[in-house]
Amino acid sequence: MKLHTKILLGLVLGLIAGIIVNQILGVSGNSHAGLEFFIANVTDPIGQIFLRLLFMIVVPLVFASLALGVAKLGDLRSVGRIGMRTLGFFIVLTTLAVIIGMALIVGFEPGKNFDAGMQNQLMSIYGDNTSKVIEKSKEIQITLMTFVDMTLPRNILKAFVDMQMLPVIIVALLFGIMMTKFDPIILGSSQRGLTALNEFSIRIVDMAMKIAPYAVPCLVFGIAARFGFAILKPLGLYVALVFSGYLIHTFVVYSILLRTLASVNPWAFFKAVKSVLITAFSTSSSNATLPTTIRVTEENLKISPNIAGFVLPLGATVNMNGTALYEGMTVLFLAEVFGVELTIAQQALVVVMAVLTAIGTAGIPGGSLPLIVLVMQSVGVPPEGIGIILGVDRVLDMGRTTVNVTGDVVTAACIAKLEGQAAKIDT
Ligand code: ASP
């Protein structure tokens, strides 16, 4: 059996086992002591081994692949051209995603006449988590200085240690650009050193993927066993619409781009990147998925390391189509629940804010939650309302992370084609 088939099977079995356990024990949330013991001592440790193998190489991998990618592109002009094109793709794709999502909410109005009792019940169950999310959102201020803080580190090592991806990216870009000016002997040894880091990362991904068929079911089991189906019921239409948005963006928007701009068959593409989709779905983290994304893009799509190494780390940090789609939908949904009428100008503000906050979202589970509170506040939707959707957020997060990561690979395929190195898929 192929590895990705095994992982997929594991994912499905983990989900089914979790739901069965949830039904038998009748659990809701993390209230059942026996189940919590099992999760804490059996499934979590196995899942964590997989997650940590992936997480531990993210920073070195981003640094090495970006710096090498930039150095191989050679001159600043090509770096600038590919950089601008890549950012152009990211912004257009993210904006399209928000508009698709918001159109679904406007069309189906899932928040109109939302049961008031259920609304209060959900808000009180998730009250504690809501306060935490709101506290976090208060720490975010948008000034010019925030921008400087977010991008330029005071101390390179601290940025690396704290996994602050934007500063890591900036340092890597600078290193790659400066490398082209190094004396040939130093250039050669720098390239060899970075290549070694890359090789090391690829081998660690290999190890992680070997245990993925056992770790992935463990990760999803915990979520399914704690929440089961019950949580989806009151929010069924909203959840179904968010997933429809993900599917439309993935199978319509990305497919059109793949066919027209990247000249690849969308179906063959999705088959070739299956393990990336499964890793994103089960980890809910673009960062944790990045090592797999880079490897699969280079190996299965035959996209050159200088393009994959440049576009993908950038994408995992700034290109979050699924997140933007989810943010736009959630803000409009909660506005409906609270009876806040949004004018066209306010809806346009939601689009802009969703795009900007998606760019600022960290590629980790729940990374967008504090930021979505900012979007809600900007149009007068009560921030405590976030409590209504917190219970289903993890499931939505699995989906949006998958869309986020797919968008990065689609962009890499389009850029490769524009640079005259179209992706090739072995069928
Ligand atoms: N979990 C998402 C990601 O890593 C970010 C988010 O919370 O929207 O891509």
How confident is the model over 185-233, as pLDDT tens digits? 999 999 999 999 988 988 998 899 899 999 999 988 988 898 887 767 7
| Best residue among 51, 286, 330 to mutate for probing ligand 1, ranked by most atoms within 8 Å of CB | 286
Residues in the chain: 427
Averaged pLDDT for residues 57-79 = 87
Q: State whether the Cα torsion 262-266-272-274 is positive or negative.
A: positive
Cα–ligand 1 centroid distance for 220 (angstroms):
16
Nearest to 147 by CA among 376, 365, 359: 359
| pLDDT for residue 236 | 87
CA–CA separation, 28 vs 49, rounded Å?
A: 26
Quick check: is 217 in a domain? yes
Ligand 1 and 367: CB distance under 6 A? yes
Quick check: is 423 in a domain? no
Ligand 1 and 363: CB distance under 6 A? yes
CA–CA separation, 350 vs 358, rounded Å?
A: 12
pLDDT band, residue 268 (cuts 50/70/90): very high
pLDDT band, residue 1 (cuts 50/70/90): confident
Statement: residue 351 has pLDDT above 70: yes
Cα–ligand 1 centroid distance for 147 (angstroms):
20
Ligand 1 and 323: CB distance under 6 A? yes
CB 221 within 8 A of CB 43: yes
| pLDDT for residue 190 | 95
Statement: residue 363 has pLDDT above 80: yes
pLDDT band, residue 72 (cuts 50/70/90): confident
Ligand 1 and 282: CB distance under 6 A? no
Token pair 């999310």 is found at 133
Q: Which atom of ligand 1 is nearest to the CA of 364?
A: 4
Token pair 């004396």 is found at 183
| pLDDT for residue 221 | 92
Whole-Å CA distances, 386 to 15, 37, 133, 193: 26, 29, 9, 46
CA–CA separation, 325 vs 89, rounded Å?
A: 16
To 5 degrees, how large is the angle CA 139–CA 153–CA 69? Answer: 120
Statement: residue 116 has pLDDT above 90: no
Averaged pLDDT for residues 153-177 = 92
Name the more confident of 273 and 166. 273
Q: Which domain holds residue 294?
A: 3-418
Cα–ligand 1 centroid distance for 191 (angstroms):
32
Rounded to the nearest integer, the mean pLDDT of the chain is 91
Provide the Cα torsion 90, 55, 46, 200; round to 10°. Answer: 110
CATH number at residue 81: 1.10.3860.10
Averaged pLDDT for residues 307-311 = 93
CA–CA separation, 377 vs 270, rounded Å?
A: 37
Quick check: is 256 in a domain? yes
Statement: residue 347 has pLDDT above 70: yes
Side-chain half-sphere exposure of 374, counting CA atoms within 13 A: 21
Per-residue pLDDT tens for 239-265?
999 999 999 999 999 999 999 999 999
Statement: residue 12 has pLDDT above 70: yes
Most confident of 24-33, 69-78, 343-352: 343-352
Cα–ligand 1 centroid distance for 323 (angstroms):
6
| pLDDT for residue 64 | 93
Ligand 1 and 366: CB distance under 6 A? yes
Quick check: is 424 in a domain? no
Helix axes 184-227, 58-73, angle to 10 degrees: 140
CB 385 within 8 A of CB 337: yes
CB 126 within 8 A of CB 391: yes
Q: Domains in the chain: how many in total?
A: 1
CB 165 within 8 A of CB 55: no
Cα–ligand 1 centroid distance for 97 (angstroms):
15
% of the chain at pLDDT higher than 70: 100
Cα–ligand 1 centroid distance for 401 (angstroms):
5
Cα–ligand 1 centroid distance for 8 (angstroms):
21
Quick check: is 336 in a domain? yes
Name the more confident of 77 and 159. 159
Quick check: is 427 in a domain? no
Q: Which atom of ligand 1 is nearest to the CA of 326?
A: 8
Statement: residue 28 has pLDDT above 80: no
| Best residue among 368, 372, 389, 405 to mutate for probing ligand 1, ranked by most atoms within 8 Å of CB | 368
pTM comes to 0.89
Ligand 1 and 289: CB distance under 6 A? no
Averaged pLDDT for residues 322-329 = 98
Quick check: is 425 in a domain? no
Most confident of 60-69, 118-127, 173-182, 347-356: 347-356
CA–CA separation, 248 vs 204, rounded Å?
A: 34
Ligand 1 and 319: CB distance under 6 A? no
pLDDT band, residue 300 (cuts 50/70/90): very high
Nearest to 239 by CA among 346, 23, 398: 398
CA–CA separation, 319 vs 201, rounded Å?
A: 22
| pLDDT for residue 427 | 64
| pLDDT for residue 90 | 97
Quick check: is 426 in a domain? no
